[in-house]
Amino acid sequence: MTDTFRPGVRDEEILSLEGVSLWLSGREILHDVGFSLRAGELTGLIGSNGAGKTTIFRVILGLETPSAGKVLFAGHPRPRRNRSVGYVPQSIGLDPDVPLRARDLVALGLDGDRFGIPLPSRSRRQLVDEMLEAVDAQGFADARVGKLSGGELQRTLIAHALIAKPRLLLLDEPLANLDIRSEQEVVGLLAKIAKAHAIAVLISAHEMNPLLPVMDRVVYVASGRAASGPTEEVVREDVLSALYGHHVDVLHVHDRILVVAGKDETHHAELERTHTVVPRGLG
Amino acid sequence: MGAILTGIFEPGFFTSEPVRVAVIVGGAVSLVSAVVGVFTVIRGQSFAGHSLGDLGTTGGSGAFLVGANPLWGFVTFAILGAGAMELFGARRPRGRDMATGIVLGAGLGIAALFLYLGTTHSNTTGATITILFGSMFVIRSSMIPVFALLSVLALAVVALLYRPLLLSAVSQDIASARGVPVRLIGALYLLAMAVAVSLSCVTIGAILSTAVLIGPAAAALRLTKRPGLAIAWAAVIGLAVTWLGILLAYDSYYWPPAGRGWPVSFFVVALILVVYLLADLANGQKARRAGARAIASDKGPGVVAGRAWPSSPGEPGAE
């Protein structure tokens, strides 16, 4: 399965955002966001709902154009048709009637953007089989996509993204709606993929603890601002307090990290107290 | 043997010119509608498909009023309607439904006026029936090339957009991230749908065109989980119900008591319903058999997946 990927160079810079700001309908959704992703590394994009995680993805994917700043792929501006980025959205709201098996969906990752009807090809089929094996999806390869469980669909979509041999893989909240065991399997799989094929993997999550064992770097997002670096350098009281603009507690409980942030914008007295709770930011 | 055959094919079926034209045009049109309809169903655009037929009615009845061939009225107005739907926010599914509804209401109102003026002016109610419920037996053979050309056009668009349509049915976001021009593809598809629907407005009628668009496709999607096969099944079902419908309608002229003959459209639509119910039944049987096999061998897809990758009990689709 390794040979289906272009050999990447470890630590090579794949993507960098420099001072990216984005205004939409008169509101600043992102403010001066900058970070870079390297080959072979798994980066967590952490923040609460509405902090700007999905918007950062949309900027990387070219679905939004930054009002200021630069998005560079290996030092160059984004090409118009960019096959070097694989994308797994959060929820795809699949119609159960769609006549596609898991293997058909993976094959669409190869050439779904092309026009015309594909001819059956042995090499195409072989590539799909290898990719299904890489995400351990042979057991449901012939099941209708609308009937897959959350974890099965997640792995199918990962294979769909990987088959195009991307340099960068973006996953929007891949752990949402998964049970704990599936969560661990998906995280393990993604870490393995990042290392084995030297691609950069960016995973967004509102909860960073499942990612802690495998995360090389973190991009922490709050209210459209971001702080990035190795986890232990970012998830600290001083850094996160500066990011939020008010005091934030970072508690280490066994091997978990709890970030406790007050609700600054609404001036509510209550404290939200979950693992990485941040104030409700920009919608 | 010969008696049975004459019983099935009443005298003159194979020599009748209207039957020949109906078999060619009706068959081709139903095939095109069925193929186009597969994507209508998986894109969730059944309502838009129905509305294009109703809008086509405006054009068809207008053409009748001025003495032109209704086909041109249907095609022109369905395409204009598709364009209007696209302009009025086809991007959001909800916006799409509202835009469709608004355009549709206006169109049908005008159609009512045209049909009223047409029937009061020429003192015949036949046109209303023809426009609304179609009539394959009154199509002139000189129109065959036009039907063929429009059929090929609609099929060509669907063939060209096959993969991007499938990909954007899975996820618009994934498709646009891959550089698929999602909006343009949607607009082109709407065009193909407008052409397919206006063709079936002439053969099967404006009111019933939805049945030919959605019915065979919905049945096909029950029968297979592969995209290519779904299209093939839809085409076969569309063709079969239409030809069988033509035969039954022809035979019905010989049926007791009066020998008045029943409309083709009725038979086609009734057959579509029967095929859909049978397909649904077959699908249920298949699922039950698969379930029984899974329990018997302890190796069903869910169980295999469960071993490596358990899904939580309440998870949708875990069955």
> What CATH number did the domain enclosing B134 receive?
1.10.3470.10
In a domain, B315, yes or no: no
Tell whether B185 is covered by a domain: yes
How many Å lie between the alpha carbon of B219 and the closest alpha carbon of chain A? 11
Domain ranges, residue B156: 2-308
User: Into how many domains does chain B fold?
Assistant: 1
Whether B313 is covered by a domain: the verdict is: no
Would you call B224 and A99 a contact, using CB atoms and an 8 Å cutoff?
Answer: yes
What is the rounded end-to-end Cα distance, in angstroms, of chain A? 41
pTM for the predicted model, two decimal places: 0.83
Q: Please, which pLDDT band fits residue A42 given cuts at 50, 70 and 90?
A: very high
- Chain B residues with CB-CB distance to A182 below 8 A: 309-312
Which residue, B23, B21, B25, B32, is CA-closest to B195? Answer: B32
- Chain A CB within 8 Å of residue B284 CB: no
pLDDT band at B123 (very low <50, low <70, confident <90, very high): low
d(CA B7, CA B248): 11
* C-beta atoms of A139 and B308 within 8 A: yes
Task: Give bridge partners of residue A221 from the DSSP assignment.
Answer: A226
Interface touch A104/B171, C-beta < 8 Å:
no
The pLDDT assigned to B129 comes to: 75
DSSP string, A206-274: S--GGGTTT-SEEEEEETTEEEEESHHHHSSHHHHHHHHTS-EEEEEETTEEEEEEB-TTTT-S-B--S
Distance from CA of A227 to the nearest CA of B (A): 25
Q: Is residue B318 part of a domain?
A: no
Q: Extract long-range pairs of A2-9: CB within 8 Å, 24+ residues apart.
A: A2/A196, A2/A197, A4/A127, A4/A130, A4/A131, A4/A134, A4/A163, A4/A165, A5/A162, A5/A165, A5/A196, A5/A197, A5/A198, A5/A199, A6/A165, A7/A198, A8/A39, A8/A40, A8/A167, A8/A197, A8/A198, A8/A199, A9/A39, A9/A198
Put residue A278 in one of left, alpha, beta given phi > 0 → left and psi -120 to 50 → alpha.
beta
User: By mean pLDDT, which of A103-112, A254-263, B25-34 is the weakest?
Assistant: A254-263
Q: By the CB < 8 Å criterion, does B317 face chain A?
A: yes
pLDDT in tens, B162-217: 999 999 999 988 998 888 998 899 999 999 999 999 999 988 888 889 999 999 99
- Report residue A212 as tokens: 């802690």
Residue B92 falls within a domain, yes or no? yes
